[in-house]
Amino acid sequence: MDEFTLTWQSAVATHCDRLFVNNIPKASEHLVGAATITFPRSQFNDQQRQFTLEPKVGRFYPHAYAWEALGCSRSDFRPFRVIATTPNTLTIDPNHPLTPYTPSVNTPANVAQEQDIMGLFMTNGSGMQAPYPGIAPDYYAIYPFTRKDDRTDTEYYSNPRLVTHLDKTAIAQVTALYGRLLQTGMHILDLMSSCVSHLPDTLDVQVTGLGMNQVELAANPRLQQYVVHDLNHAPLLPFADACFDAVICTVSVEYLTQPLEVMRELARVVKVGGIVIMTFSTRWFPNKVIDVWAEMHPFERQGLVLDYFVKTGRFIDLHTESVRGLPRPMDDPHRRETAMSDPIFSVWGTVVPT
């Protein structure tokens, strides 16, 4: 199995997509630009899965949702992005989202030139994590974000779940990322923590946990101290200014209903020059995930989290990274559902002064 790495730079971040594959198709042409298209709103199929979909500027939708206007099949799920709206029309960019950029692909030495390396990244979402040039994506039409289950999080998370939420291969990727970005001697806030922090065993750090369940937090061997706190009820953090060197948040950011307030708090409690790292995957509690998250492509979710950093205005040196295609462990209980390890998506940035 070979690893291929696609790197590129958008106006807001450095992006890296890592993909592990066995079979590579032959080369073909990619990133051929086409004109934007304006068509009547009536040709956008807004009735999807028993709800009415309102197209938002900066957001992605499948070609199939506007098949008549675009002259494509009703089963064409290539993404287009809405770039302007009026009461009667939509203007969209049908191009691949990487088209405005000049991506670079790192290719193993054993791969032949005639194989379609770029094509590996062209059909699965790379590029969707970056905002459209000059357009702020409309993620926040309903904010705070809504969820299916309106019960308080205190009630929902009252029963401890002493389990991990990723397969072992995916966990190893998260741990490796934290090992790359964190340093010995740091004081780290494990935000929305539970019974495991996924930090390298060899990393000598002080860890404070903030989570929803005391039993889970008490069972976490990496925590020197912890606090039970509901961020959706009270997004202000119970910590002093500049008291942490770093923050990690593992497969939990998708549950925040007021993420912009939480991000501002993270910038407050982390020292200038410190780092905030968010990691997530494609598994979640469906009743407690924010509604907009479930509507998005995985790479668009990465764009949403990146936008949290951008809108906070307190972060620089922003990065996104994805890891996909690794095999799922043979003993994993979900291997019958998928042979692939859970993909890992991450976003991180460095805190700057106000």
The domain ranges of the chain are 34-94, 153-351
Per-residue pLDDT for 114 more than 60? no
Q: Which residues pair with 92 in a beta bridge?
A: 37, 82
pLDDT digits (tens, 9 = 90+) for 203-259: 999 999 999 999 999 999 999 999 999 999 999 999 999 999 999 999 999 999 999
Residue 192's φ and ψ, nearest 5 degrees, are: 60, 45
Contacts of 266 (CB under 8 A, 6+ apart): 189, 191, 237, 247, 276, 351
Number of Cα atoms under 13 Å in the Cβ half of residue 204: 2
Q: Which residues pair with 28 in a beta bridge?
A: none
Q: What is the average pLDDT value for the chain, to the nearest integer? A: 93
Q: Please report which helix (H) or strand (E) contains residue 17, including its range.
A: strand 14-21
For 129-268, strand residue ranges (E) read 187-193, 206-211, 225-228, 244-250
What superfamily in CATH does domain 153-351 come from?
Vaccinia Virus protein VP39 (3.40.50.150)
Type of residue at 322: S
> Is 216 within 8 Å of 162 (Cβ atoms)?
yes
- pLDDT category at 149 given cuts 50, 70, 90 is very high
Q: Distances from the Cα of 60 to the Cαs of 84, 92, 201, 313, in angstroms?
A: 12, 9, 40, 24
34-94 in CATH: which number? 2.40.10
Q: Which residues pair with 211 in a beta bridge?
A: 193, 228
List the structure tokens of 87: 């009461």
Contacts of 326 (CB under 8 A, 6+ apart): 1, 20, 169, 170, 173, 340, 341
pTM of the model: 0.94
The confidence score (pLDDT) of residue 162 equals 85
More confident residue, 165 or 60: 60
List the structure tokens of 183: 């340093």
pLDDT digits (tens, 9 = 90+) for 75-96: 999 999 999 999 999 999 999 9
Length of the chain: 354
**104-106: strand order across its sheet:** 104-106, 2-9, 14-21, 315-324, 344-351, 270-280, 244-250, 187-193, 206-211, 225-228
Residue 120's φ and ψ, nearest 5 degrees, are: -60, -30
Instruction: Work out the percent of the chain whose per-residue pLDDT is above 70.
Output: 95
Contacts of 182 (CB under 8 A, 6+ apart): 188, 199, 203, 205, 246, 248, 275
Type of residue at 273: G
- pLDDT category at 46 given cuts 50, 70, 90 is confident
